Amino acid sequence: MPAFVSDADAMALALEQARAAGARGDVPVGAVVVHDGQIIAQAGNERELRHDPTAHAEVLALQAAAEVLGTWRLTGATLVVTLEPCPMCAGALLAARVQRVVFGAANTENGSCGTLYNLCVDPRLNHEVEVVHGVEAAASTALLGEFFATRRL
């Protein structure tokens, strides 16, 4: 059995997914799902590729993880993502009963795990998600910066 995957290892893979997304014209964001210490799913943003407003990296990674586990309840899972989730993706973490989210860069536009909202921690809701932030934030920000600089030329 492979060694236990650290948050840093998972983030390195999420950054690879983000780079691949950017290379095909999607905003470079990548996500990985870790369960029982192993990576069980990974995805990059495919909004442009699929013409699908919901095809953010987090949603695709959660869908893939649910398929692997055969249940929509991703109890005990950690989602590692390069950019702080938007409202839809933070809501998807709740819907999937994810245990932890680890993100890189803060999302000043619509970040919903601490920046504009913290949907992950609200005692009125039926689930809470532990939030870890700032893992490889500079690498994530650099990828996004390069992407938008190129597109605005």
Q: Which residues are catalytic?
A: 58
Binders in 6-45 for a copy of itself, by CB under 8 A: none
Closest to 28 in 3D by CA, of 46, 11, 10, 40 = 46
Residue 123, C-beta contacts closer than 8 angstroms, at least 6 positions apart: none
Which is closer to a copy of itself, CB of 96 or CB of 136? 96
Count of residues that interact with a copy of itself, criterion CB under 8 A? 40
* CB closer to a copy of itself out of 49 and 132: 49
User: Smallest distance, Å, CB 1 to a copy of itself?
Assistant: 25
CB of 2 to a copy of itself, least distance (A): 25
Cα separation of 61 and 55, whole Å?
Answer: 10
Query: Please, which of residues 114-133 interact with a copy of itself by CB under 8 A?
Result: 116-117, 119, 122, 124-126
Encoded tokens for 66 = 């649910």
> Cα-flanking dihedrals φ and ψ of residue 113, to 5°?
-120, 35
Closest CA to 7 of 96, 56, 65, 78: 78
CB 45 → a copy of itself: shortest distance, Å? 11
Note whether 92 and 74 are within 8 A (CB): no
Among residue numbers 53 through 112, which ones bind a copy of itself (CB under 8 A)?
53-56, 59, 62-63, 66-67, 70-74, 86-92, 94-97, 109-110, 112
- Residue 29: left if φ>0, alpha if ψ -120 to 50, beta else—which one? beta
| Minimum distance from residue 28 beta carbon to a copy of itself (Å) | 17
The residue type at 75: T
* Residue numbers at the binding site for a copy of itself (CB under 8 A): 47-48, 50-56, 59, 62-63, 66-67, 70-74, 86-92, 94-97, 109-110, 112, 116-117, 119, 122, 124-126
